[in-house]
Amino acid sequence: MSRNTRIILIFGGFVTAVAAAFYPIFFHPLANIDEYKREQAVNRADVNQENVQPPGLKVWSDPFSRK
């Protein structure tokens, strides 16, 4: 195997590993916004925001809302 082919395979493997790690963090939630909204509604159903939020900070907002 030539030196250039080996470098291309190593670099390609690195790019593939980074893309595989980045997909579930960024692209999957972005493509399935409704699923994550439902999950957050269930997770935050019993939480009274005023009791858990430190004084002086903004109350939680919807992280999926479009600005």
Residue 63 pLDDT greater than 90, yes or no: no
Exposed e or buried b per residue across 28-63, where buried means at least 16 C-beta atoms within 10 angstroms of its C-beta: eeeeeeeeeeeeeeeeeeeeeeeeeeeeeeeeeeee
- Judged by DSSP in three states, 58 sits in coil
* pLDDT confidence bin for 1, thresholds 50/70/90: confident
Q: Is the pTM of this model over 0.85?
A: no
The HSE-up count of residue 3 (CA atoms within 13 Å, CB side) is: 0
> Tell me: the pLDDT tens digits for 10-57?
999 999 999 999 999 988 888 998 998 898 889 888 888 777 777 777
What does the alpha-carbon distance between residue 4 and residue 25 come to, in Å, rounded to a whole number? 32
